[in-house]
Structure 1
């Protein structure tokens, strides 16, 4: 029998990314969809024969919905989680989990002791290159770890005023929406930071068009110092790199590249080829869907989602207050 998915949010991440990723499986169907934009919901209805619902609550409560995917804008995630928590059904929520610490606390209380699989959409954990990067960092080959860097300059930002994505109060800007990938990845490798400091534009409306930039530092409890630099820019180069340095060498990875580079002191670089066995969103979704079927557990937990939000919001607080924030 197929897993019947209710899809909350029929935009870029819902209709264009996760819907095709899950429906390549013969044991998954999209049975219901909710989006406040009727035209968006209609696209999913037409393609997948899904029933259009009038609210997140109506969708989650349907007898023909076995599990819920929340792919709506960040500031609305809490609505889908509240609705689904009442039903006890499995939950997939796109990153970031929520927009505020109050919402994070509420979600933890709502889902305390929850029996069904819950996961957060940190897709980068499922990329073959990112997994190789993590394996090298965790192996000890680099020696005592000292430094990490993350650079994500995106020169193709197109959003305009009136779009929720260009509204800092709704999206959290570059820090919460994009760098949260790196906060999760570094938490995965190092644990939570001890303190953070940041400077940023925070989608300031003093600019002629929406754009964002952040420069920050995170110091982890294991002593690793991490430098962040990234922006949503309307021109210029785009890149997406991570590095970790230890006493014995460093490892570098560019997101989406088919290889990872290890450079040990006094040795030639070693390039590990990392082809993707599956499209990365399909690999991510499969883990949650298999967990629903009792075939393993989710790899990204609710607590992982909350912890990444805490790091992002601490960096935002630092940028707003010009203070070092202790976690």
Structure 2
């Protein structure tokens, strides 16, 4: 491909604005088309980026079918993920998509079957893989510095759904749109980072899901709407090597803005990583004389991180094969399978094999 690669962005909400900002830093790509159901968002973002009026679509199919669009960045609610994936696969358009892969496992199975018959350049954005500290932790484990991992603790806490915040009924609380609540939104990240950093796979799960705030106000009418998805989830996992993982995620953790962290407890010591400081890891290990432990804070250089937007640009231009550090569609499918298994474990009140 010669010249700049044309990018089409589907969905123009808050997260999309961040993707647009990052794409603006990448040489060799240009946003040429936009799609959203909001005319106001199309006008605002389109004017800011100088996107032509006839390239501002309210139809996903129209944007994906645009011959000047070489690759798609999709940042939409979960209920449209499957349709966008299928349309991009059918038309052969490279896709950079947000997690979770789809709303349900049944949708994920359809997408996987289609993709395996017509593969395209595709990147599923499990964004915490990109952070320098999480990359450092993966290398640390891969190099054997932690020894055998005996157990791990992973949590992802936010507080925007807490009762005192009086958050109205949004799409993330709507089962028809989101599938599950904090489990699919935040729990999907926890599962991905646990398997990614440790290099291990979960083979058994047990779980409890809870809806702490059972009603929220309709933002237009002010009337109460029943919430049928979880806003707290916890689960335990047995990994194939025998390690045990303990996980919790909540939208009701007052004081936690965006706290995603992992503690790895190994034979040789304990490693702690958190989004609260994405350029540090904390390493605790025994003193040589056996008289106690040393806790060391390791500063991680920013260039340890991954740049998914650069990776996507290279894939669109055919200049790079898929880098395994970024999640594939198959890994997105596995993540959806794990989410489904957690729900089954909760409903059955038993341990479920993956």
Same fold (TM over 0.5): yes
Equivalent position of 1:241 in the other structure: 261
Structure 1 unaligned regions, length at least 5:
none
Equivalent position of 1:79 in the other structure: 83
Equivalent position of 2:237 in the other structure: 218
The residue correspondences of 1:146-165 to structure 2 (distance < 5 A) are 146-157=150-161, 160-165=167-172
Q: Structure 1 197/207 Cα, relative in aligned 2: closer, same or farther at 3 Å?
A: farther
Separation of aligned partners in 2, 1:316 and 1:159:
27
Determine helix, strand or coil for the equivalent of 2:41.
Answer: helix
Question: How much does 1:31 deviate?
Answer: 1.1
Separation of aligned partners in 2, 1:124 and 1:114:
28
Determine helix, strand or coil for the equivalent of 2:82.
Answer: helix
Separation of aligned partners in 1, 2:127 and 2:215:
33
Question: How much does 1:119 deviate?
Answer: 0.8
Tell me whether 1:288 sits opposite 2:290 in the alignment: no
Q: Which has the larger radius of gyration?
A: 2
Structure 2 unaligned regions, length at least 5:
218-223, 288-292
Tell me whether 1:310 sits opposite 2:337 in the alignment: yes
Question: Which of residues 98, 117, 138 is equivalent to 2:142?
Answer: 138
Separation of aligned partners in 2, 1:129 and 1:41:
36
The residue correspondences of 1:142-291 to structure 2 (distance < 5 A) are 142-157=146-161, 160-171=167-178, 172-188=180-196, 189-202=198-211, 205=214, 212-233=231-252, 235-238=254-257, 239-257=259-277, 258-266=279-287, 267-277=293-303, 283-291=307-315
1:8–1:68 contact (8 Å) kept in structure 2: yes
Structure 2 length-normalised TM? 0.85
Separation of aligned partners in 2, 1:168 and 1:283:
32
1:190–1:220 contact (8 Å) kept in structure 2: no
Determine helix, strand or coil for the equivalent of 1:222.
Answer: coil
Question: How much does 1:270 deviate?
Answer: 2.6
Q: Structure 1 316/204 Cα, relative in aligned 2: closer, same or farther at 3 Å?
A: farther
Separation of aligned partners in 2, 1:310 and 1:166:
21
2:28–2:313 contact (8 Å) kept in structure 1: no
Separation of aligned partners in 1, 2:183 and 2:90:
31
Question: How much does 1:93 deviate?
Answer: 0.8
Structure 1 length-normalised TM? 0.91
Aligned CA RMSD, in angstroms, stands at: 2.3
Equivalent position of 1:126 in the other structure: 130
2:11–2:74 contact (8 Å) kept in structure 1: yes
Question: How much does 1:159 deviate?
Answer: 7.7
Aligned residues: 324
Q: Structure 1 5/69 Cα, relative in aligned 2: closer, same or farther at 3 Å?
A: same
